[in-house]
């Protein structure tokens, strides 16, 4: 029943990127050695760790904020929870998961440092469980930290909050940021690289790569090789990323999760909406998507606002299930922006 079930099941297609080890792309020029601190890792104080994160320039890949600002502002209080985000519920993307699997010691060290600052009552790593095409078991513990397996349908990120006791604070930080924090503390390294999944049906050697920030998509694809001319190159996740036209100019940043090359663009049909209502059932926020799309095409912004279009998170589940291949999600996001502009101008 649609009142209880939300979201969609996706074919995850994470193999073979997940089990293969991470490929490191050499930097073209060496950074000069940085000396952040002389104190050994075990004796670092909370203030020193925040300073370390600031000097190393670590960016949290889960939301694009600076890690040191996040750590400084966070006030967990008593019984707060620290969640390490390694969910990766989008198909193909496995950059955060591969860190948990291939570099667990470093990750554990980073989490330990983060715990020192925040002193939470509970810490866990969140990972997505429904990877049916891989027979690889998700470890139940990384270091001394428990792994919480988030099940259910895409999008899973909102379901993370279920495990937090009511009335308590929580902080979510990305797994890659933890890894960089550990590197900064142990090896005095600045954050100059990011973890990117290179995948797709025309990639010869699909795997997770660690590339310098600012590498172009073309170079990354050349590194892994292409078997065929792709019709679509996507920067970011397969559900929320954007298609690019100039791979030689588009660069990856700290929040980029993947570079995906697909042989066939999914194409558009000339069919109209037949009103099957699958988008309504797929919406994780239980919005009436089918009706809202009609309002958006008619330009009825007031009705859209009444139907809570501002709650749309842009997960793309409605577009995924649409049998007429209508770009429902894009239409709604556009309408959401229009409403924001109209509100600023005071016309709505």
Partner 1 sequence: MKDKLMFQNAPHVRQSESVVTIMSGVLFALLPIYLMSLFYYGARSLVLGICGAFFCCAFSAIGSLLLREKPVPDLTPIITGLIIPLLMPADIPYYVVISACAVAIFVVKLPFGGTGSNLFNPAAVGFASVAICWPELVFRYPATMQAIEIFGESTAKIAQSPAYSLSFGAVPDYNVLDMLLGSAPGPMGATNILVVAACGIFLIVKKAVNWITPVSFLVPYALLCLAFPRISCSSFDALCFELFSGTIVFGAFFMLTEPVTSPKRDFGKLLAGISSAVVVFLFRYFGGFEIGFASALIVMNVFSPVFDAVCENILHAFRHKDSIIATFKTDRERKKLSGEQAVKIVESKEEKTVSETEPEEPVEIVEEIDLSEKEESGKEAVQ
Question: By CB under 8 A, is residue 239 in contact with partner 1?
Answer: yes
Coil/strand/helix, residue 347? coil
**Least distance (Å) between residue 23 CB and partner 1:** 20
The residue within the footprint of partner 1, chosen from 105, 246, 297, 302 (CB under 8 A), is 246
Using the contact rule CB under 8 A, the part of the chain among 46-54, 169-177, 190-198, 222-230 near partner 1 is: 222-230
Map the footprint of partner 1 across residues 303-322, applying CB under 8 A.
307-308, 311, 314, 316-317, 319-322
Q: How far apart are CA 103 and CA 4, in angstroms?
A: 38
Smaller CB separation from partner 1, 63 or 228: 228
Q: If binding is defined by CB under 8 A, does position 330 make contact with partner 1?
A: yes
Restricted to residues 80-119, the positions that interact with partner 1 (CB under 8 A) are 91
Binding of residue 286 to partner 1 (CB under 8 A): yes
| Residue linked to tokens 């049916």 | 132
Which one of residues 75, 140, 270, 347 is an interface residue with partner 1 (CB under 8 A)? 270
Is 210 among the residues that bind partner 1 (CB under 8 A)? Answer: no
Picking from 198, 89, 97, the residue whose alpha carbon sits closest to that of residue 152 is: 89
Do 243 and 234 form a contact (C-beta atoms < 8 A)? yes
Helix (H, G, I), strand (E, B) or coil at 171: strand
CB 265 within 8 A of CB 232: yes
**Residue 254 interacts with partner 1 (CB under 8 A): yes or no:** no
| Single residue of 95, 103, 238, 256 touching partner 1 by CB under 8 A | 238
Q: H or E element: which one contains 84?
A: strand 81-86
Measured CA to CA, the distance from residue 49 to residue 45 in angstroms comes to 6
Residue 280, classed as helix, strand or coil, is helix
Tokens for 137?
């078991």
When the beta carbons of 10 and 213 are compared against partner 1, the nearer one is 10
- What is the rounded (10 degree) CA torsion for 59, 60, 65, 70? -110
List interacting residues with partner 1 (CB under 8 A). 1-3, 10-11, 91, 218, 221, 226, 229-234, 238-248, 260, 262, 265-266, 269-277, 280-281, 285-288, 290-291, 307-308, 311, 314, 316-317, 319-325, 327, 329-330, 333
């Amino acid at each position: 029943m649609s009142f209880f079930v939300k979201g969609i099941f996706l074919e995850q297609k994470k193999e073979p990127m997940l089990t293969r080890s991470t490929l490191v792309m050499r930097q073209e020029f060496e950074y000069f050695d940085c000396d952040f601190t002389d104190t050994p890792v075990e004796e670092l104080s909370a203030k020193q760790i925040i300073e370390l994160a600031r000097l190393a320039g670590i960016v949290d890949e889960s939301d694009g904020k600076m890690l040191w600002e996040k750590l400084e502002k966070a006030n967990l209080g008593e019984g707060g929870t620290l969640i390490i985000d390694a969910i990766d519920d989008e198909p193909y993307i496995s950059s955060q998961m591969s860190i948990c699997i291939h570099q667990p010691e470093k990750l554990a060290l980073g989490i330990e440092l983060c715990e020192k600052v925040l002193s939470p009552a509970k810490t866990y790593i969140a990972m997505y469980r429904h990877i049916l095409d891989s027979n690889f078991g998700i470890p139940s513990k990384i270091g001394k930290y428990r792994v919480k397996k988030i099940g259910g349908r895409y999008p899973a990120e909102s379901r993370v909050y279920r495990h937090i006791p009511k009335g308590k604070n929580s902080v979510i930080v990305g797994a890659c940021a933890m890894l960089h924090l550990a590197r900064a503390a142990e090896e005095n390294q600045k954050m100059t690289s990011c973890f990117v999944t290179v995948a797709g049906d025309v990639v010869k050697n699909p795997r997770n790569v660690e590339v310098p920030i600012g590498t172009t998509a073309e170079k990354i694809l050349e590194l892994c090789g292409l078997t065929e001319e792709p019709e679509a190159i996507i920067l970011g996740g397969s559900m929320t990323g954007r298609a690019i036209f100039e791979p030689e100019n588009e660069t990856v940043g700290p929040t980029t999760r993947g570079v995906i090359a697909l042989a066939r663009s999914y194409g558009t049909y000339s069919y109209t909406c037949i009103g099957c209502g699958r988008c309504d059932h797929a919406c994780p926020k239980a919005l009436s998507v089918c009706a809202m799309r009609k309002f958006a095409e008619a330009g009825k912004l007031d009705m859209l606002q009444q139907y809570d279009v501002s709650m749309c998170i842009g997960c793309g589940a409605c577009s995924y299930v649409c049998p007429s291949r209508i770009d429902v999600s894009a239409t709604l996001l556009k309408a959401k922006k229009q409403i924001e502009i109209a509100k600023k101008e005071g016309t709505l």
